[in-house]
């Protein structure tokens, strides 16, 4: 048998083939050849090839990664990470410069893997070749909803640098509207420099995405010099008026709502405010009562009237802030005056026992005509009888007439109404 094997060449060959086959079968069973896909970012090389002609490139986001398929033994694939694979687009290999976009071949390598086993799913990617655009933008500082210490507000915030020049593809640069430096001023109580995060904003007010920003080069580090202004609360508001009411009418009073505001300002601005008894006066040219025969109301933008280095701000502990105030000039017939009357003194008739009334305003305003001597002697708390009739009124909100009875010699110039809220006794007790 031994001699038969030694002398039979054909049998030796068959044995070798069987051995090789069994070896491949064993390898295939324990370490099979499989395919695996990887998403790999495309690295662009030789960009100077087009930069010399004042051109630059841009790749749509869909083509910035390519899918690469590697077919190899499972043990080898298990060791491969996406970082081990390099996909390059060499701009010197542009297929045809006369197309738009141009197409650039993709070359993929992976250390330790034969190139024949590597296949990108796309052989080329489209690349847009564009003119280089350069533009300088001012930096806008934004501190959002962050707030310094409760006794301060941000007075000035100046960025360094104040302007940034951006260079990149024209299709991106031409869409830029502004550059924003975001900072956090939470609990600041002293002036200081604050590092900023830059955001590029397009002309629609939306942030330009990172996918486009990568083509704009490295942006500089930005810091912001923040100067804090101290708050001053309980600043009184008063107003003057211009013009003359209609013949037979007079200006009885002028009021501003709100009557007080909180401001923040530099030391010099607050010192000047203090010298004016912490009072801001709305000038006469903002309120005109010429030929008026009824009250005049005017909304005024108070922020536009403040001196330099001063701003409106929310009072400590609140977030409410409005730049508008309402000026009301009471215009009455001559020989009449306006008086306040507490609603708690109004008598209520025909309200059922299970209901309670509350008022929208704490006072009624009554306009009364009489001789000057009688008006001088008038005492509203003793000489006015006011009442409302709530017959058939149930739970709800109502505007009702107020019956006013005055002594002989006095005349009510205008009818009086008031807004009331009727609730059950239980609801009224809960709200109190």
CB atoms within 10 A of CB 139: 20
Please identify, among 169, 202, 228, the residue that sits at the C-terminal boundary of a domain.
228
Q: Report whether 157 contacts 226 (CB < 8 A).
A: yes
Q: What share of the chain is helix, strand, coil (3-state, %, to 5)?
A: 20, 45, 30
Specify whether the CB–CB gap between 229 and 311 falls below 8 A. Answer: yes
- Residues 70, 101, single domain; the answer is yes
**7 located within any domain:** no
- Distance (Å, rounded) from C-alpha 249 to C-alpha 243? 12
pLDDT at 157: 96
What pLDDT shows up at residue 53?
Answer: 66
Pair 355, 406 in one domain: yes
Q: How far is CA 423 from the centre of its chain?
A: 40
Which pLDDT score, from 0 to 100, does residue 133 have?
87
d(CA 227, CA 192): 7
* Residue 328 is assigned to a structural domain of this protein: yes
Residues 6+ apart with CB under 8 A from 114: none
Domain total of the chain: 4
CATH number of the domain that residue 361 is part of: 2.170.120.30
In a domain, 13, yes or no: no
Quick one: residue 50, left, alpha or beta (phi over 0 = left, psi -120 to 50 = alpha)?
alpha
Residue 82 domain boundaries: 33-122
Asked if residue 223 and residue 236 are part of one domain, the reply reads: no
* Model pLDDT, residue 11: 57
Are 390 and 323 members of one domain?
Answer: no
DSSP string, 245-258: PPTTEEEEEEEEES
* Cβ-contact 345, 390 below 8 angstroms: no
Q: In 3-state terms, what secondary structure has residue 130?
A: strand
- Is residue 49 assigned to a domain? yes
- DSSP states of 189-234: -S-EEEE-EEEEEETTSPBPPHHHHGGG-PPPP-EEEEEEEEEEEE
Same domain, yes or no, for 358 and 290? no
Listed residues 180, 204, 228: the one ending a domain: 228
Q: Does residue 17 belong to any structural domain of this protein?
A: no
3-state DSSP call for residue 307?
Answer: coil
Q: Is 18 part of any domain? A: no
Q: Tell which residue, 231, 303, 305, 237, has the closest CA to residue 270.
A: 231
Residue 26 has a pLDDT of 52
Residues 45 and 88 in one domain: yes
86 strand-pairing partners: 109
pLDDT averages per 10-residue partition of the chain, 432 residues: 54 61 53 88 88 80 91 88 93 86 93 91 90 90 94 95 90 91 96 95 88 77 96 95 95 91 95 95 96 95 94 77 91 92 94 90 91 92 94 93 95 93 82 59
Domain boundary among 333, 351, 383: 333
Q: Write down the pLDDT at residue 29.
A: 47
DSSP 354: T
User: 352: phi > 0 → left, psi -120 to 50 → alpha, else beta; which?
Assistant: beta
Domain assignment present for 321: yes
Residue 15 lies in a domain: no
CA–CA separation, 324 vs 124, rounded Å?
A: 61
Q: pLDDT value at position 415?
A: 93
Q: Based on the fold, state whether residues 85 and 136 are members of the same structural domain.
A: no
Q: Are residues 42 and 80 in the same domain?
A: yes
* Encoded tokens for 242: 């211009």
Residue pair 184/120 in contact by the 8 Å Cβ criterion? no
Q: Check whether residue 284 and residue 349 sit in a common domain.
A: no
Q: What is the pLDDT of residue 118?
A: 92
CATH number, domain containing residue 329 = 2.170.120.40
């Amino acid at each position: 048998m031994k001699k038969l094997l030694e002398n039979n060449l054909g049998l030796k060959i068959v044995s070798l083939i069987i051995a090789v086959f069994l070896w491949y079968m064993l390898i295939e069973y324990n370490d099979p050849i499989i395919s695996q896909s990887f998403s790999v970012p495309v690295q662009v090389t030789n960009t100077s090839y087009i930069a010399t002609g004042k051109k630059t490139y841009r790749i749509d986001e869909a083509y910035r990664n390519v899918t690469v398929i590697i077919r190899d033994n499972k043990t080898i694939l298990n060791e491969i990470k996406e970082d081990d694979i390099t996909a390059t687009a060499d701009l010197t290999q542009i297929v045809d410069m006369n197309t738009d976009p141009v197409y650039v071949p993709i070359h993929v390598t992976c250390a330790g893997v034969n190139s024949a086993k590597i296949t990108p799913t796309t052989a080329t990617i489209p690349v847009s070749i564009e003119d280089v655009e350069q533009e300088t933008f001012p930096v806008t500082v934004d501190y959002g909803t962050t707030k310094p210490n409760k006794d301060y507000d941000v007075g000035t915030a100046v960025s360094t640098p104040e302007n940034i020049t951006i260079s990149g593809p024209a299709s991106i640069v031409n869409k830029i509207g502004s550059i924003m430096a975001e900072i956090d001023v939470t609990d600041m109580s002293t002036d200081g420099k604050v590092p900023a995060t830059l955001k590029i904003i397009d002309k629609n007010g939306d942030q330009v995405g990172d996918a486009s920003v990568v083509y704009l080069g490295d942006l500089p580090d930005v810091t912001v010099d923040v100067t804090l202004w101290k708050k001053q609360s309980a600043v009184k508001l008063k107003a003057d008026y211009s013009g003359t009411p209609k013949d037979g009418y007079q200006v009885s009073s002028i009021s501003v709502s709100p009557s007080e505001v909180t401001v923040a300002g530099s030391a010099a601005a607050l010192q000047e405010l203090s010298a004016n008894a912490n009072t801001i006066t709305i000038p006469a040219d903002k309120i005109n009562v010429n030929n008026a025969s009824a009250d005049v109301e005017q909304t005024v933008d108070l922020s536009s009237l403040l001196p330099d280095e001063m701003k409106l701000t929310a009072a400590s502990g609140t977030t409410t802030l409005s730049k508008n105030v309402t000026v009301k000039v009471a215009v009455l017939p001559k020989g009449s005056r306006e008086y306040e009357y507490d609603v708690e003194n109004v008598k209520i008739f025909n309200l059922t026992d299970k209901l309670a009334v509350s008022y929208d305003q704490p006072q009624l305003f009554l306009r009364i005509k009489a001789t000057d001597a009688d008006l001088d002697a008038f005492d509203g708390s003793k000489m006015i009888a006011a009442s409302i009739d709530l017959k058939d009124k149930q739970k709800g909100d109502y505007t009702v007439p107020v019956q006013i009875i005055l002594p002989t010699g006095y005349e009510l110039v205008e009818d009086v109404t008031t807004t009331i809220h009727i609730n059950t006794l239980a609801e009224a007790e809960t709200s109190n």
